[in-house]
Structure 1
Amino acid sequence: MNNNINVLTPIVCGLIAFSNSALAQAPLVSIPSQDAFFEQIKSLCGQSFLGKVVVDNAPPSSFNTSKLVMHIRKCSDTELQIPFHVGDDASRTWIITKTGSGLSLKHDHRHKDGSSDVSTMYGGHTLDAGWPQVQTFPADEYSKALFVKLKIPQSIGNSWQMYIYPDTFTYRLTRQGREFRVDFDLTHSIEQPVTPWGYSEK
C-alpha cells in the first residue's frame, strides 16, 4: 500500500502542476460580442472626443455647463483607461476590464493630489453577452455596499450602459427615476486634455 502511494505521489503532483500551469496560460474566455465592443473602443486609443449632455433629468450641474471630453488614453489587451474630463475637473477615469466572465466597468475618482475619493471604483459587470455596439453594467455588490455606506441607497439600482457606433460613443446611467446620458462625437478628434488626477504622464 505504501509503495503504491509512493509511486502515485509524483504522478499526482505532476498532474496538479500541469493543471495549474495550463490554467495560468489559458486565455480569457472569449465572448465575440464583448470582444468586438472592446476592440472598437481600443481602435480609437490615443484620441480624445468632445461630448454633450443629451439627457439629464436632475437639476443642472457642472455636466450641463462644462466642456466634456473623453480621452481613450491607455489600452491593453485586457484593459481600457478612459478619463472623462468635466471642464477643469480631471478626477474621473472609466476603466473597462476583461474579467474572464465578461466585462467590468469601474469609475476611478481621484482628488487633485492623486488620492482616491471616498466614492471610487464603483461600477458594474456585464450579466449577458450584449452586442458589439452596446454593453450594460448593472451595479455590482461592492458598489451597492459603498452606496449604502455613503448614504445614497437610491444608487443601488444603478445600471450603466456604453454604446459605440461609427460616429458616436455614449455613456448612460439609469436607475428608477434617474437618467443621465452623454454623447461623444467620434467623427472629429480634439486636442488631448491634461493627465487625469492620480495617473502618471506616461
Structure 2
Amino acid sequence: MKKHLLVLSTSLLFSVSSLSVMANTVKEAPLVSISSHDSYFDNLRQHCGKAYAGKVTVDNPASGGFEGQLIMHVRKCTDQQLQIPFHVGDDHSRTWIITKTGSGLSLKHDHRLKDGNYDQSTMYGGHTVDGGFESMQSFPADQYSKELFAKLGNPQSNSNIWQMYIYPETFTYRLIREGREFRVDFDLTKPIDLPATPWGYKD
C-alpha cells in the first residue's frame, strides 16, 4: 500500500512539475493588428511626449464649454496604448485613450473629477469597424457607451461617431451624429510647453 502511495505521489509531483515547466515556457500571444491600424497608431505615437495647441473649428449647434486654451498632450505611449489628455483651460478632466484590442482600435474618453475620481460620464467611446486609413480612424459608439448615454438621459448620443485624423501638420478630433458636428484642430508644427498632469493621473 505504501509503495502504491509512493508511486502515486511521485507521479503527481512529476505531473505538477511538468505543468509548471510548460506554463513557464508559454509565450505571450502576439499583438495582432492590421497595417492601416498599425500605421495610424505609429503616426500618433511619433508625437509622444509633446503637446500642441488647438482651436474649435466646427461647433454646430454651438455647445459652449470649450473656452480657454485647448491643448492635446500625447502623454504616455506603449506598444498597445496611447494616452492623450485634452486640456480645456484649467479643466484637466479629459483623457483620450486609444488601445489596440486585437480586433481593431478602441477609443475611450476617461473623464475625471478634480479630486481624481471618475465622473459619472466616463469611459464612453467606440471601436473601429473597418480598416480605416493610416491618417484617419472612425470609432462608432460601442454598446457600453449606448447604455451609459441612455442611463444618463442622453440617448441622442447613441449614434455618435468619433473620428481622429493625423496628418504631418494637423491632428483633428471630430464628433459627428445626426444634427451635430464638433471639431477641434491642433497645430502639430509648433510644440508647446507641457500642460499640467490630468486629473486622476500621476507623473
TM-score range, shorter chain: 0.7 to 0.9
Alignment-derived partner of residue 168 in structure 1: 170
- Structure 1 unaligned segments of length 5 or more: list them: 1-9
1:122 aligns with 2:127: no
TM-score normalised to the size of structure 2? Answer: 0.87
Q: How does 1:38-187 map to 2 (within 5 A)?
A: 38-63=41-66, 65-187=67-189
- Could you tell me how far apart the structure 2 residues matched to 1:128 and 1:62 are? 32
- Could you tell me how far apart the structure 2 residues matched to 1:34 and 1:199 are? 27
SS state at 1:187 partner: coil
Larger Rg computed on CA atoms:
2
Alignment-derived partner of residue 3 in structure 2: none
SS state at 1:62 partner: coil
What is the Cα deviation at residue 59 of structure 1?
2.5
What is the Cα deviation at residue 60 of structure 1?
4.6
TM-score normalised to the size of structure 1? Answer: 0.87
- Could you tell me how far apart the structure 2 residues matched to 1:62 and 1:170 are? 18
Runs of 4+ with >6 A deviation: none
Counterpart code for 1:176: E
What is the Cα deviation at residue 28 of structure 1?
1.8
Alignment-derived partner of residue 195 in structure 2: 193
What is the Cα deviation at residue 21 of structure 1?
3.2
**Which string of whole-angstrom CA distances, capped at 9 and with x for unpartnered residues, describes residues 117-165 of structure 1?**
0000000000011000000000000000000000000000000000000
- Could you tell me how far apart the structure 2 residues matched to 1:105 and 1:168 are? 19
- Structure 2 unaligned segments of length 5 or more: list them: 1-14
Identity of aligned residues (%): 64
**Which string of whole-angstrom CA distances, capped at 9 and with x for unpartnered residues, describes residues 44-83 of structure 1?**
00000000111110235121x3210000000000000000
What is the Cα deviation at residue 196 of structure 1?
0.2
**Which string of whole-angstrom CA distances, capped at 9 and with x for unpartnered residues, describes residues 86-133 of structure 1?**
010000000000000100000000000000000000000000110000
- Could you tell me how far apart the structure 1 residues matched to 2:164 and 2:148 are? 22
**Which string of whole-angstrom CA distances, capped at 9 and with x for unpartnered residues, describes residues 149-202 of structure 1?**
0000000000000000000000000001000000000000000000000001x2
Alignment-derived partner of residue 7 in structure 1: none
- Could you tell me how far apart the structure 2 residues matched to 1:39 and 1:108 are? 21
What is the Cα deviation at residue 29 of structure 1?
1.4
- Could you tell me how far apart the structure 1 residues matched to 2:137 and 2:149 are? 22
- Could you tell me how far apart the structure 1 residues matched to 2:83 and 2:63 are? 27
1:36 aligns with 2:61: no
Query: Alpha carbon RMSD of aligned pairs, Å?
Result: 1.7
